[in-house]
Amino acid sequence: MVERQSPLEPEFHPGSHGNFEHGVEIILSETRPGSILQLAAWPGEEKRLMSSIYKVAGLALPDGAGGGVADGVKAAFGFAPGKFTVVDEAEGLASAFAGVITPNIGTVTDLSHGRTAIRIAGPKAEWVLAKFFAIDFALPAFPVGAGRSTTHHDVFAQIQRTGADQFDIYVFRSFARSFWKALCHASEEVGYEVQ
């Protein structure tokens, strides 16, 4: 398969930046999952769709919007009632789901070529993200595995907490470069490293 070119490439500058004389408190990177999917259940079919996520990806989701799970290679989270994002390192996950999620359960939309995945990690990750989004990023309010759907200005973002101090952010590819630049700028104060 043809390798996707990163929309961040012109602005992706590995190394330490900003005020890092006392250490780096933010790590920024682009993850490159093979599959980014949106699954949507018809009303009353949410449980069957969640069962399909477990059947295909092996990820058991808790009930309710915002619940999720991340295991390092795969992740899934609900971002609205009956709507889920599923991410996997493997390509072609959409066809596996299409064979299980029938038209009477819901829909499968492959967003792999339309989204960019950005990871922010470090002890100041919550602090930097709070500059962008009106969300409580504290661990009790936003537990590991959970996901949220929100916007920063006109940039739609889906955010999943994938570690105690780590978040994966999915944005439209067309907005990825400007969002990346803003994220780098917001991280300058505490020092950041691009990996």
Q: Where exactly are the structural domains of the chain?
A: 11-32+114-194, 35-110
What are 8-42's pLDDT values in tens digits? 888 888 988 988 888 899 999 999 999 999 999 99
What are 60-77's pLDDT values in tens digits? 888 755 678 877 779 999
Is the pLDDT confidence value at 1 over 60? no
Fold of 11-32+114-194: Gyrase A; domain 2 (3.30.1360)
C-beta of residue 8 within 8 angstroms of C-beta of residue 180: yes
Calpha distance 113→173 (Å, rounded): 8
When the pLDDT of each residue in the chain is averaged and rounded to a whole number, the result is 91
Q: Yes or no: is domain 35-110 CATH 3.30.70.270?
A: no
Nearest-5° angle of CA 8, CA 11, CA 15? 110
Q: What is the pLDDT of residue 10?
A: 85
Average confidence (pLDDT) over 135-152: 92
pTM: 0.91
Residues sharing a CB contact under 8 Å with residue 1, sequence separation 6 or more, in sequence order: 91
